[in-house]
A and B are shown apart, each in its own frame.
Chain A
Amino acid sequence: MKLEDIPKKQPVFDIPEDYFENLPHKVMRRIKQPRRRSLSMWLAYAACLALLLMGIGIGYDHFDVENDKLGSWQTIEEVLLENDISEAELLELHYMSETIQDPSEIVFEELLYEVSEEEIMELAY
Chain B
Amino acid sequence: MKPFLDWGRIGTGQTTTHGTKPQPAQNMLAEIDDREILEKFKQDSSKNWAFAQLMNKYQKRIYMHIRKMVIDHDDADDLTQEVFVKVWHHLESFRNHSSLFTWLYRIASNECLNFLNRKRRRFLVPICDVQKELTSKLENQWTFSGDEIQLKLQKALLTLPDKQRLVFNLRYYEELSYEEISAITGTSVGALKASYHHAVKKVEEYLTKNEL
Contact = CB atoms under 8 A, between A and B. Distances in A.
B3 A12 contact: yes
B147 interface: yes
Interface string B38-74: 0000000000100010011001100110011001010
Interface in B103-160: 141, 144-145, 147, 149-150, 153-154
Interface residues of A, number: 24
Contacts of A12: 3-5, 144-145, 147, 150
B26 to A, nearest CB: 18
A3 B204 contact: yes
B211 A1 contact: yes
Interface stretch (B27-35, B80-88, B93-101, B180-188): B80-88
A31 B73 contact: no
A17 B2 contact: yes
A6 interface: yes
Given A23-B59, A27-B55, A14 B2 contact: yes
B52 A24 contact: yes
A28 B19 CA distance: 30
Interface string B170-212: 0011000000000000000000000000001001100110010
A7 B147 CA distance: 11
A38 B154 CA distance: 33
A30 B2 CA distance: 26
Contact of B59 (A2, A6, A24, A30): A24
Contacts of A14: 1-4, 73, 141, 144
Given A6-B149, A11-B68, A24-B59, A30 B141 contact: no
